[in-house]
Structure 1
Amino acid sequence: MYIEQGDSQSAMAAWQKLNKILPGDFYTSFLHARILFMERRYVSAYRELLVIDVPLNKRKGYGEKIANLLGQCCRILGRTQEAAAAYKEAAVWADTPELQAMEYSNYLFNLHYSGRHSAEFLRQQAAKFGKFLEKSKPFHHHRGREKHFLRVGYISADFRRHVCLCFFYDLLTSYDRKKFAVYVYMLGPEDTISEKLRKQVTGWRNLRGLSPQESAKAIYEDEIDILVDLAGHTKGNGLPILVYKPAPIQVSGIGYFASTGLSSVDYFLGDVYLDGEDGQTGQREFTEELVVLPHSHFCYRPLQAVPLPVDTAFSRKGYVTFGSFNNFAKVTDEVLMVWGKILNRLPTAHLLLKAAVFDSEEAAIYIRQRMEKAGLPMARVECRGISEVYLPEYGDIDIALDTFPYPGGGTSCDALYMGRPLITLAGKRHGERFGYSLLMNLDLGELVAFSIEEYIERAVMLAENPELLTGLQTNLRHIMENSPLMDRQGYVRMVESVYADMWEKYEKGCRNYGGENHGKSE
């Protein structure tokens, strides 16, 4: 109870009493690891979890809890392959289909921190997700209903102050009210931004606390024509709801970068830079049909108005500062080695890293040891913890360095919006080309690298060219505001035309939507 209430001090006191009674019990050790995790002692929790030996007859259920916590520790500490393996084991030992699906979602998500897997492997792994929920009976839909406008539903836990909202805010506020009705299906707690959005849309339901079947029934009864999932396999997602096929057409994208793996999801949103003009570059990764937008697959809108920094960091400090504000799980040892090579090419340059992991003293020491081992000159590296208001801190860097193979998302957009140029490495897969898409939409392809060597050279070149760097920092926001990345009307009209095309194909019976019988009249 103390753990659930977030009271680590009382929890530890209670655990000490328990440990005197059952000192060698596996669950006693697990509870201790949970308390350590609460205290952000991730290294200690990780080490304790590694040696827990769960009796075979207790692994169903208990094994899931232990493996899940191990996965969380590994992800935070950058042990990404171990994290994926732990979540996969958690799915094996989960005692309900819902928990199995959740843990398998975690497994799929964590596969993307490593670039070692082929597109075919990732698609095959995603396709297995639906098997955990295959007993869910889908709804059936009837064609030929009279339509004055299309009903589009959006489902996510992020209709609140959250980085992903920056990418789909305009879909909820700038839609054509003469042709579309927009319904929001919230899957989590709300805030003041949620209240603001609620007033903009046709309908709003918070499905939190309902079962997937109950949630699907509510969506079905709203007669939604196109249901758009904005979360994929991220935390608190609604994929178990989409299995029931509550809408005749179901789409995923924007908030996630890889296939859902569900046969009940018909389309996935991409763009020409992520997937190639014909979509064939990316299609092999998806069980869904790719829809390739001609510019960006999202429209960026900052959630807070922050003025540009008054001056450049290098003019204030006398040296160039690189920076990354990404979730540190994206920062692999290879990324650290590459950043070390950049700093070693530039003897006065510094690196500023900002991430939640640095709020833990124990984890920060562990990460700094990783950096030192990777060859980073630690005297020129600054680490900061997370903060709610962080956009002004981009004024403390000059150049943003993207992570790879899992690139930045909202943090990359924020850096560019705050006038900080981004150096990115374009990968081969949809989810590895986010930075490439951003920069190509800004007509700044010169900042894109297609190899490690190019990545280093572009970073060094820009750092050694103060005139170019100043020009970019001064003009980047203006460039962004006048690019497809922030063209609200152009983007929303384009997506609405895609929805209309999807509906026309559905009405004409051009596709089997979500299975052999789904979408057919009865």
Structure 2
Amino acid sequence: MLSLTSPNQYHQLAEKYLLAGNYTQAASLYEEAITIEPDIKSYYWHLGLILLLQGQDVEAQTTWLMAMMEGEPEQVEVWNAELIEILQTEAQHQESQEEYAIVEKIRQNIKEISPKSIHNLLHLLQLSIKLEIYTGNDLQELGIIEILQLEPRLEVNLELLMASLKIVLDYAPVHPSTLKFVEACLPYCENNTKALLITLLPAALDIGYSQRQYGVAIQLCELYLDLNPKNTEVIGHLASLYQNHGQYEKGIEVAKLFFSLVQELADKIFANRQILRGLMTAGGHWQESCYTHHQQELLVKTLIEDNPTQLDNSRISRLFNANFFTPYIEDNPSKNRNIQNQLMQICQANIVNCDRAQVDKYSQGNLRRKQHNRDNVKLKIGYISHCMRSHSVGWLARWLFQYHDRDKFQINGYFINTSPACDPLHEWYLGKIDKAYKSNEYLQMAEEIYQDEIDILIDLDSITLDTTCDIIALKPAPVQVTWLGWDASGIPAVDYFIADPYVLPDSAQEYYKEKIWRLPQTYVAVDGFEVSVPTVSRDQLDIPDDAIVYLCGQRGFKRHPDISRLQLQILKEVPNSYFLIKGISDEESLKSFFEELTEEEGVDYSKLRFLPIVFSESIHRANLGIADIVLDTYPYNGATTTLETLWMCIPMVTKVGEQFSARNSYTMMMNAGITEGIAWTDEEYVEWGIRLGKDETLRQQIAWKLKQSRKTSPLWNGKQFTREMENAYEQMWQKYIDEA
């Protein structure tokens, strides 16, 4: 037996053993101390704790119980408080060591002593997620929601509550109990709505935009607005979430509320854009869409005149895609690209002001790399996008990744807003690159690109995603290129825009900020598409076997009323013809749109059929086979849909314009060796549509030519296209090195 002169010495020495993990020695000391001074209860509390840490749970609880057996209720209450304090201290120590299983055991024992201690229960909730034993039912089993709903309300540590809410939202956002938990937390945030906002809004945006669980994201935003009904940040996002969820009218209504609440010009532009987004996506509000677009142009021009230089990051991000819908409404690139270029100049200047240190770092670092140019080293190519998944861009870009020469190029992928849910095409991309990096935070992503020493960064998004624009504007790579998605962004930090001899007219460089880099034949190529078994038939649609079937399968915002009228004029002139209409939009709005147009054009509405969306791409392509002729949209053509149509050997009619988006089908048809169906005027569009509908022999000839084109056309040669892109990359890099 050790010769210790005071109980305090026993305790101090035992604590040293305990901290060192020498439980046997610590237990012996406390047992000895109890023998000497059995009335000091803290010895029992510590001894029981040590037994618990040794895995002797029953013995630990027995030790505590025996020490309390003869106490009065008031004494037992004090002793329980002392024991809980000791257990909590050890739990915090073990948590700092990341011994979560031990912490969970200690806190379960605290729960036995004090079953309604909300702070302990919240810690247990977090531990269940850290230990990956959370089922979603833990909130009920622990009684957390019920306890939070008690009246009068408990004193709750708001920081702990919000941390618990965040971890649950991250781990199990769609479980029904999660929303109940959010609702139970609301009363505790009445005096601090900001704490709730910084917890709830990022989670809602991730759940909505990355995981595409729009319904859950909407409910989270609505719950927050119950507490703070005029928060414009949440209302602005809520408008998008409603629209993404297919609740177009609600999305338009909320966007208009958003517009009425904001005052700053940049916010007005974003809010008006949200209104326009809802109107265009619904597909049937063209008169109001055109008016709202005109207002948007006036707002943007006012901003350009004001030339602000102190915009914050969030406002800059929202300005990047302010003009997104312009090419869907009018084909006037000399005017519209000038506006876009000036707007992007403002965005870039403000990004530089906000993140000057980072911009300067990248500029200087890339210059040093240029001065120490490497010889005989692979070019590092980085692709950045939110679309390297089951998305139109994802389906088209994959052949470049398939055929890249890995002896000459290192290929990195930078993924934004990528859903964690299994996506076969996204998984395919991950297997085709040397390094993958995922982030939704633009500064982190830009830094990763810079640290990876990417030579040429290829932007597949253009202005379709603000985060990508933020990254591109920082210029983390010395050479930056836009390819495939939308049109060129106009951001000054972009060096080149990939085109071909057809998709932009010769005069286009006059109104592009970027240098147009024309590939020799086509700006995109694929080896083909997977085609499944069709799920629609003429019989199902009540269409006679000998009928002529026209199809237009585009999103609602591509259905400009002018081109829709031309399509109906074709239908009117071709006997026994039917028109299939397919594409994401508001069904009721779209039907009203066509009811009005058919009446104006004197077309029998019963000749129209509205096809449901098919979410399997291979089935969608198979279903194209029901059509005799595909009618393209204008001023925004199909792109992926055009390629799919040509691959399925179906004749099509397209009208060629001036802007990039009005020439996609033109370049694809030319590269497939097809001129039949290419129209340069409204009259030619109608003439081709009627001729193809009436001339079966011509349709057969075109179908045969398209089938033969699979053997020789550059459009269907992904390997040759990849070599041409790689040649462009090498020339771009050499040009950069040679520049003074």
Q: CA deviation at 1:339?
A: 0.8
Contact 1:324–1:400 (CA under 8 A) maintained in structure 2: yes
* Counterparts in 2 of 1:254 and 1:50: CA distance versus 1, 3 Å: closer
Aligned length: 497
2:633 pairs with 1:398? no
Corresponding letter in the other structure for 2:344? F
Worse-matched range after superposition: 405-414 or 191-200: 191-200
Bigger relative contact order (CA 8 A; separation at least 6):
1
Aligned to 2:428: 196
The CA distance in 1 between the partners of 2:245 and 2:429, in whole Å, is 35
Contact 1:269–1:292 (CA under 8 A) maintained in structure 2: yes
Aligned to 1:324: 552
Contact 1:29–1:48 (CA under 8 A) maintained in structure 2: yes
Q: What RMSD, in angstroms, separates the aligned Cα atoms of the two structures? A: 3.8
Aligned to 2:715: 485
* Counterparts in 2 of 1:41 and 1:423: CA distance versus 1, 3 Å: same
Aligned to 1:73: 278
Contact 2:273–2:322 (CA under 8 A) maintained in structure 1: no
Aligned to 1:458: 688
Which residue, 323, 327, 333 being the options, matches 1:112? 327
Q: CA deviation at 1:60?
A: 7.8
Which residue, 647, 650, 673 being the options, matches 1:420? 650
Aligned to 1:380: 607
Contact 1:161–1:303 (CA under 8 A) maintained in structure 2: no
The CA distance in 1 between the partners of 2:264 and 2:373, in whole Å, is 51
| Higher radius of gyration, 1 or 2 | 2
Contact 2:509–2:516 (CA under 8 A) maintained in structure 1: yes
The CA distance in 1 between the partners of 2:331 and 2:432, in whole Å, is 43
Aligned to 1:233: 463
Correspondence 1:67-466 to 2 at 5 A: 67-78=272-283, 79=286, 80-82=289-291, 84=293, 97-115=312-330, 117-134=332-349, 135=352, 136-137=355-356, 138=359, 139-140=362-363, 141=366, 142-143=369-370, 144-147=372-375, 148-190=377-419, 191-206=423-438, 208-210=439-441, 212-235=442-465, 238-257=468-487, 259-276=488-505, 280-302=506-528, 304-306=530-532, 317-357=545-585, 360-375=586-601, 376-389=603-616, 390-466=620-696
The CA distance in 1 between the partners of 2:638 and 2:217, in whole Å, is 36
SS of equivalent residue, structure 1 residue 351: strand
SS of equivalent residue, structure 2 residue 275: helix
Contact 1:438–1:485 (CA under 8 A) maintained in structure 2: yes
Correspondence 1:468-483 to 2 at 5 A: 468-473=698-703, 476-483=706-713
* Counterparts in 2 of 1:397 and 1:101: CA distance versus 1, 3 Å: farther
Corresponding letter in the other structure for 1:151? K
Corresponding letter in the other structure for 1:266? D
Larger helix fraction of residues: 2
Q: CA deviation at 1:196?
A: 1.6
Task: String of CA shifts for 1:371-413, please: whole Å, max 9, x gaps.
Answer: 3355243110111232212112112211111101111111111
SS of equivalent residue, structure 2 residue 382: strand
* Counterparts in 2 of 1:86 and 1:231: CA distance versus 1, 3 Å: farther
Aligned to 2:113: none
* Counterparts in 2 of 1:9 and 1:201: CA distance versus 1, 3 Å: closer
SS of equivalent residue, structure 1 residue 128: helix
* Counterparts in 2 of 1:370 and 1:183: CA distance versus 1, 3 Å: farther
Q: CA deviation at 1:83?
A: 5.1
The CA distance in 2 between the partners of 1:233 and 1:318, in whole Å, is 45
The CA distance in 2 between the partners of 1:223 and 1:193, in whole Å, is 27
* Counterparts in 2 of 1:86 and 1:97: CA distance versus 1, 3 Å: farther
Q: CA deviation at 1:166?
A: 2.5
The normalised TM-score by structure 1 is 0.84
Aligned to 1:518: none
* Counterparts in 2 of 1:180 and 1:45: CA distance versus 1, 3 Å: closer
Gaps of 5+ in 2: 1-181, 184-200, 205-212
SS of equivalent residue, structure 2 residue 676: helix
